[in-house]
């Protein structure tokens, strides 16, 4: 290993995408609604500043500074809308799903993805509504609360009306939900096929590996028993051979178990698993990120094997000198990126290792994307929906 560095400094360019999670919340009291009202009036005036930034960035998009401003403004718009979804959801007593998928590229590489996302354009239209009609409704509710007792009854109605408009404009549309359902059905079918193939592989490895060695060891022991009196030296030789064969069988079984779920994941979690991969890597590896808990074991294993596959490809095929790994869990989605400075040209080939990782992630409504132009760098991005379970000694 050439070296490994670990950092937990936040990256300001990270967007917070989430998958839809339906939940219900207690209905807020009228005075809790007043607190929401005050906060939203201030928040809506910030939305006006965001409109100005969007207008300037889109008007200058033909030059490089416009590309940077557009990328920043779209990220701010997504975060702004995410806050409104949470507040509106609290007012209505239910979560409002995020229409954006987990797939996400960082920096300017993700600008085209954001501009082609229908949800982004709906959020632009919503921003115009929320800073005009929405601001008027919240101002009316705010002044209504001051004029008691009229506002005590009317203002909550105005706030819920505004929240309902937000839900209509910001939640996923039927076509997007149908597309996601279709994607999940396809990934479920591929996951079933992958699981069946994995079971056949385990059966084959057991049959050709450990089972064959144990049968051979049994035969050696049987021959040794028959030679104990006639040729003790030969019997001892056969017993030693049988002992070596059982050691080999045990090694095969351990290797098979590691291929199913590496022990380092059970002991140290995903971050510990990445660190073990980095220690064993022949090139320099840097790790940037933190996890406040443990993903479910199947998700943890999928990301571990995905990172291991990306690192193996970088080491063996791209001639990389450095590998950077970044991970983050935000709004119910775990994001991981593996970047190497190799020659590029990596593809997700059918039947290849990355294709297998993509199938694993699809089982969790996750995605795998590879950007690898000739000359490099190669960027492997993985994302999947999961909730973290707090665990002592795992977070970094």
pLDDT of residue 392: 54
pLDDT of residue 180: 60
The phi-psi region of residue 393 (left if phi > 0; otherwise alpha if psi is between -120 and 50; otherwise beta) is: left
Domain locations along the chain: 30-172, 181-260, 265-385
Which candidate, 266, 279, 331, places its Cα nearest to that of 308?
Answer: 279
pLDDT of residue 254: 64
CA of residue 30 relative to chain centroid, distance: 38
**CATH 3.30.565.10 assigned to 265-385:** yes
Cα separation, 380 vs 340, whole angstroms: 9
Phi (first) and psi of residue 339, to 5 degrees: -120, 130
Phi (first) and psi of residue 117, to 5 degrees: -80, 120
Strands 378-385 and 367-371: antiparallel
pLDDT of residue 299: 85
pLDDT tens track of the chain, all 396 residues? Answer: 455 554 433 343 333 333 333 445 566 777 788 888 888 888 888 888 888 888 888 888 777 787 888 888 888 888 888 888 888 888 887 777 777 755 555 555 566 667 777 778 888 888 888 888 888 888 888 888 877 666 777 888 888 888 888 888 887 766 555 656 666 656 565 555 555 565 666 666 666 666 777 777 788 788 878 877 777 888 788 788 888 878 777 776 666 555 555 667 777 888 888 888 888 888 888 988 888 888 888 888 888 888 988 888 888 888 888 999 998 888 788 889 999 888 888 888 777 778 878 877 877 778 888 888 888 888 899 888 888 887 654 444
Alpha carbons within 13 angstroms on the beta-carbon side of residue 359 total 19
Q: 374, 111 in Cβ contact below 8 A?
A: no
**What is the DSSP annotation of 210-222?**
IIHHHHHHHHHHH
- Taking CA atoms, 343 is separated from 127, 277, 374, in Å, by 43, 22, 6
Cα separation, 295 vs 18, whole angstroms: 15
Q: 292, 11 in Cβ contact below 8 A?
A: no
Cα separation, 285 vs 279, whole angstroms: 8
pLDDT of residue 230: 79
Cα separation, 309 vs 317, whole angstroms: 11
Helix (H) or strand (E) holding 347: none
**What is the DSSP annotation of 23-79?**
-B-PPPPHHHHHHHHHHHHHHHHHHHHHHHHHHHHHHTTTSHHHHHHHHHHHHHHHH
Which candidate, 275, 330, 228, places its Cα nearest to that of 3?
Answer: 275
Cα separation, 301 vs 360, whole angstroms: 9
Q: Is the pTM of this model over 0.85?
A: no
Phi (first) and psi of residue 206, to 5 degrees: -65, -40
Cα separation, 170 vs 127, whole angstroms: 10
- Taking CA atoms, 366 is separated from 99, 317, 359, in Å, by 15, 26, 9
Q: How far apart are the first and last CA of the chain?
A: 22
């Amino acid at each position: 290993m050439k070296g490994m560095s670990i950092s937990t400094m936040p990256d300001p360019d990270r967007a917070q995408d989430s998958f839809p999670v339906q939940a219900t919340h207690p209905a807020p009291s009228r005075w809790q609604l007043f607190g929401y009202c005050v906060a939203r009036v201030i928040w809506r005036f910030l939305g006006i500043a965001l409109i100005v930034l969007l207008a300037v960035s889109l008007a200058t998009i033909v030059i490089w500074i416009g590309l940077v401003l557009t990328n920043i403004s779209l990220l701010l718009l997504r975060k702004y809308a995410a806050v409104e979804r949470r507040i509106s959801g609290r007012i209505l007593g239910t979560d409002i799903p995020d229409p954006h998928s987990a797939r996400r590229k960082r920096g300017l590489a993700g600008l085209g993805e954001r501009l082609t996302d229908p949800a982004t354009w709906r959020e632009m239209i919503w921003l115009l509504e929320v800073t005009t009609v929405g601001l008027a409704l919240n101002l009316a509710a705010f002044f209504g609360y001051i004029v008691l007792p009229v506002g005590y009854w009317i203002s909550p109605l105005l706030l819920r009306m505004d929240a309902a408009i937000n839900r209509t404009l910001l939640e996923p549309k039927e076509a997007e939900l149908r597309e996601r359902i279709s994607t999940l059905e396809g990934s479920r079918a591929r996951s079933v096929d992958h699981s069946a193939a994995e079971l056949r592989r385990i059966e084959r490895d057991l049959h050709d590996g450990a089972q064959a060695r144990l049968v051979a060891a049994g035969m050696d022991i049987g021959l040794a028993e028959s030679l104990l009196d006639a040729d003790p030296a030969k019997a001892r030789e056969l017993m030693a051979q049988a002992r070596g064969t059982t050691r080999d069988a045990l090694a095969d079984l351990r290797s098979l178990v590691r291929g199913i779920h590496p022990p380092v994941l059970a002991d140290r979690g995903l971050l510990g698993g990445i660190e073990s991969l980095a220690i064993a890597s022949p090139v320099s590896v840097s790790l940037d990120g933190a996890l406040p808990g443990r993903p479910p074991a199947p998700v943890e294993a999928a990301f571990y094997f995905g990172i291991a596959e990306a690192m193996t490809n970088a080491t063996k095929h791209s001639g990389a000198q450095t590998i950077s790994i970044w991970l983050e869990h935000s709004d119910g989605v775990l994001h991981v990126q593996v970047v190497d400075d190799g020659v590029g040209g990596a593809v997700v080939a059918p039947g290849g290792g990355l294709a297998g990782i993509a199938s694993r992630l699809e089982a969790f409504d996750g995605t795998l994307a590879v950007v690898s132009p000739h000359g490099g760098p190669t960027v492997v991005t993985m994302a999947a929906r999961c909730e973290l379970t707090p665990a002592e000694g795992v977070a970094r």
